[in-house]
Amino acid sequence: TSQILIALAVFLLIMQFFKLQRVRRQLPPGPIPLPIFGTLIQLNFQFNRDLLMKLAKIHGNIFTLWFGWAPVIVLNGYQAVKDGMTMHPEDVSGRLVSPFFRAMAKGKGIMLATGHTWKQQRRFALRTLRNLGLGKRGLEHRVQEEANYLVAFFSSMKGKPLDPSFPIVHSVSNVICAVVFGHRFSREDEAFHELIRATERLFKFGGSFIHHLYEIFPWLMCRLPGPHKKALSCYDVLSSFTRREIKMHVERGIPDELQDFIDFYMDHIEKSKDEPRSTYNEDNMVYSINDLFLGGSETTSTTLNWGLLYMVANPDIQEKVQKELDAVLGPSQLICYEDRRELPYTNAVVHEIQRFSNIISVGMPRVCVRNTTLLGFPLKKGTIVLPNIASSLYDPEQWETPRQFNPGHFLDKDGNFVSQEAFLPFSIGHRVCLGEHLARTELFIFFANLLRAFTFRLPEGVTKINTEPILGGTLQPHPYRLCAIPR
């Protein structure tokens, strides 16, 4: 009987193999999939953007990879990403709620939600952030306040070597905390420290080998101990922090003048409780806030962290920024986002920091919400589409020196700032980052304040600078120390 079973198994695998080849003919080209493993063996079980860019050289800018039985359509390079995400934006607005993300956020909130919940929660969050002063002076004031705290902290170090990553993430997180919770946290607040540590661990887990294993064998992994359990408990740290803040709001009641995101949300739960399809409830409030916190702290602070590293590595560029800042701004004048128009070189450097650090390892996967056509290929509802955002920022057809730090990418021959279409760090289409404006404001105001106040140098005796990233959910620089010399 064992021989019969083996023969049967082999027969089934061969049948599956031919079935895969049949399905494959209708899809964009790509490596040949095998039963069970799909194309994972050819990819060495790895999955990163450089590999995707290499595959695009072989198979073209739209190609298919297989994760087990599921085809994943990859878009590579600016043109394919833009056309694929904007020709029928609604059709590709679904989110792949993968097993790990389902275990984490249960399909609630904004970032990892899809369909009706996503639409309602996203629309509400955007409207509320606008009410709270996003794009107006109100929120800018918060950013300026945190930038001042950060400058004061660096000053207190008196030019001694320090690792800038914690002070930066502390200041950046405080902006979103002020918006969502209504107050900032002090440097000494232990619960806030724990929250930031949990966030960092969660991002480190993203894209790791164990994360991939969980996505492929969730039924096995959810029963085994390991880093995936640690990562899920990090998410719980965030959730319980948020729930504690909500509880404090509930106890003091909804004020007449709504002060922060929680106030607006609680007020809206009241207002919409009779609507039949309402998704406004405490769970979605918790997960939306988690999303705002995760989206609004890690990414911006990582980008700033890279920015200071690039300034240490390119002292000539640092000096040019400082000359421009000194020429245009008074030494104690408040720096506004509007000032970027008078500071083309500084603005170009901030953009180039974002382009070159390119911190999103591979964009978040989308899902077709109905049958559609993508760049000429018919795709069925439920097909996974992965826009390789990173490839647009390094696209050799769009950038003069894609793999070099070069602020000239954003300047014309007269030194005026020029925006570039292929600059898509916030993604594109219906799932474009909802905090884009806040992030741009923070990056500009923090960066300009730091460079006006300090010259950044390597500590005495250190000569090597590592600008290679550590792979994770976002690409971090290797830990480094620098000296902030007051100017």
Residue 310 has pLDDT above 90, yes or no: yes
What pLDDT digit, counting tens, does each position of 366-412 carry?
999 999 999 999 999 999 999 999 999 999 999 999 999 999 999 99
Q: Which of helix, strand or coil describes residue 426?
A: coil
Q: Is 433 annotated as a binding residue?
A: yes
pLDDT at 39: 82
What pLDDT digit, counting tens, does each position of 226-252 carry?
999 999 999 999 999 999 999 999 999
Q: Domain ends where: 68, 86, 121?
A: 68
Same domain for 241 and 341? Answer: yes
List residues bridging with 482 in a β-sheet. 162
Same domain for 269 and 412? Answer: yes
Give whole-number Cα distances, 121 to 100, 107, 288, 292, 484, in Å.
21, 12, 7, 11, 41
260: which DSSP letter? Answer: S
The secondary structure element, H or E, covering residue 350 is helix 344-357
Contacts of 273 (CB under 8 A, 6+ apart): 280
Give whole-number Cα distances, 448 to 100, 333, 388, in Å.
38, 12, 30
Q: Domain ends where: 10, 38, 68?
A: 68
List residues bridging with 63 in a β-sheet. 74
What pLDDT digit, counting tens, does each position of 331-355 carry?
788 999 999 999 999 999 999 999 9
Q: Domain ends where: 53, 68, 83?
A: 68
Q: What are phi and psi of 183, to 5 degrees?
A: -155, 160
pLDDT at 478: 96
Percentage of residues of the chain with pLDDT beyond 90: 78
Same domain for 130 and 261? Answer: yes
Mean of pLDDT values over 447-465: 95
Residue 312 has pLDDT above 70, yes or no: yes
List residues bridging with 456 in a β-sheet. 484
Q: Which of helix, strand or coil describes residue 422?
A: coil
Same domain for 146 and 267? Answer: yes
Give whole-number Cα distances, 74 to 22, 90, 363, in Å.
20, 18, 10
Query: Average pLDDT, whole number, for the chain?
Result: 93
Token pair 């990090």: residue: 234
Q: Which of helix, strand or coil describes residue 168?
A: helix
Residue 139 has pLDDT above 70, yes or no: yes
Residue 136 has pLDDT above 70, yes or no: no
pTM for the model stands at 0.94
Same domain for 54 and 126? Answer: no
How many domains, in total, are found in the chain? 2
Residue 35 has pLDDT above 90, yes or no: no
CA distance 196 to 136: 27
Same domain for 3 and 147? Answer: no
Q: What are phi and psi of 297, to 5 degrees?
A: -115, -60
What pLDDT digit, counting tens, does each position of 281-298 carry?
999 999 999 999 999 899
Residue 323 has pLDDT above 80, yes or no: yes
Same domain for 157 and 293? Answer: yes
Mean of pLDDT values over 56-80: 92
Residue 149 has pLDDT above 90, yes or no: yes
Same domain for 305 and 428? Answer: yes
| Domain assignment of residue 33, given as a range | 1-68
136: which DSSP letter? Answer: S
pLDDT interval class at 135 (50, 70, 90)? low
Same domain for 290 and 428? Answer: yes
CB 484 within 8 A of CB 456: yes
> If you write DSSP's letter for every residue of 14-45 in order, what string do you get?
HHHHHHHHHHHTTS---SPPBTTTBTTTTTTT
Quickly count: other Cβ atoms within 10 Å of residue 295's Cβ. Answer: 18
List the end-to-end C-alpha distance of the chain, in Å, as a whole number: 82
% helix, strand, coil for the chain, step of 5:
55, 10, 35
124-138, 209-223, 386-400, 446-460: lowest mean pLDDT where? 124-138
* Closest residue by Cα to residue 344 from 323, 358, 330, 315: 323
Mean of pLDDT values over 31-49: 79
Same domain for 25 and 82? Answer: no
Same domain for 80 and 33? Answer: no
Same domain for 218 and 85? Answer: yes
What pLDDT digit, counting tens, does each position of 248-287 carry?
999 999 899 999 999 999 999 999 999 999 999 999 999 9
pLDDT at 302: 97
Q: What's the Rg (C-alpha) of the chain?
A: 24
Half-sphere exposure of 144 (CA within 13 A, CB side): 14
CATH of the domain at 441: 1.10.630.10
